């Protein structure tokens, strides 16, 4: 953990000296997920996440359209809350 803190400090110093070398921020993925692909990849039925999908949709965190699900702008703003809906209880 101490090494990670030292790395962050070095980047901050380096950024202040040469801003053009600052590391790029990772971009949040904004594409949708196909439910059939999700089921095939996980081996789980849609019913296993249906309650979480409905709750996320009711909170305005995701949109469903033509068998696909994608986070809304609000979903990206509250991404941790959205992800927590799909964690085992």
The pLDDT tens digits for 36-66 are 998 999 899 999 999 999 999 999 999 999 9
* This prediction's pTM: 0.64
Residue 3 maps to a domain: no
Q: Is residue 59 part of a domain?
A: yes
In a domain, 1, yes or no: no
Instruction: Give the model's confidence band at 88: pLDDT under 50 very low, under 70 low, under 90 confident, else very high.
Output: confident
User: Can you give the pLDDT at residue 12?
Assistant: 44
Q: Tell me if 8 is assigned to some domain.
A: no
Compute how many other C-beta atoms are within 10 angstroms of the C-beta atom of residue 82.
20
pLDDT category of residue 89 using cuts at 50, 70 and 90: confident
What domain range includes position 79?
Answer: 27-84
What is the average per-residue pLDDT within 26-42?
83
Residue 32 has pLDDT above 70, yes or no: yes
The answer to the question of residue 67 being in a domain is yes
Residue at 10 is within a domain: no
pLDDT at 24 over 70: no
Q: How many domains does the chain have?
A: 1
> What is the distance between the alpha carbons of residues 44 and 18, in angstroms, rounded to a whole number?
49
């Amino acid at each position: 953990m101490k090494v990670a803190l030292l790395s962050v400090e070095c980047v901050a110093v380096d950024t202040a000296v040469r801003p053009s070398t600052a590391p790029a921020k990772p971009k949040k993925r904004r594409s949708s997920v196909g439910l059939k692909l999700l089921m095939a990849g996980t081996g789980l039925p849609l019913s296993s996440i249906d309650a979480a999908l409905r709750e996320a949709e009711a909170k305005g965190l995701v949109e469903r359209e033509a068998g696909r699900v994608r986070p809304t702008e609000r979903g990206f703003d509250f991404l941790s809350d959205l992800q927590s809906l799909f964690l085992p209880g």
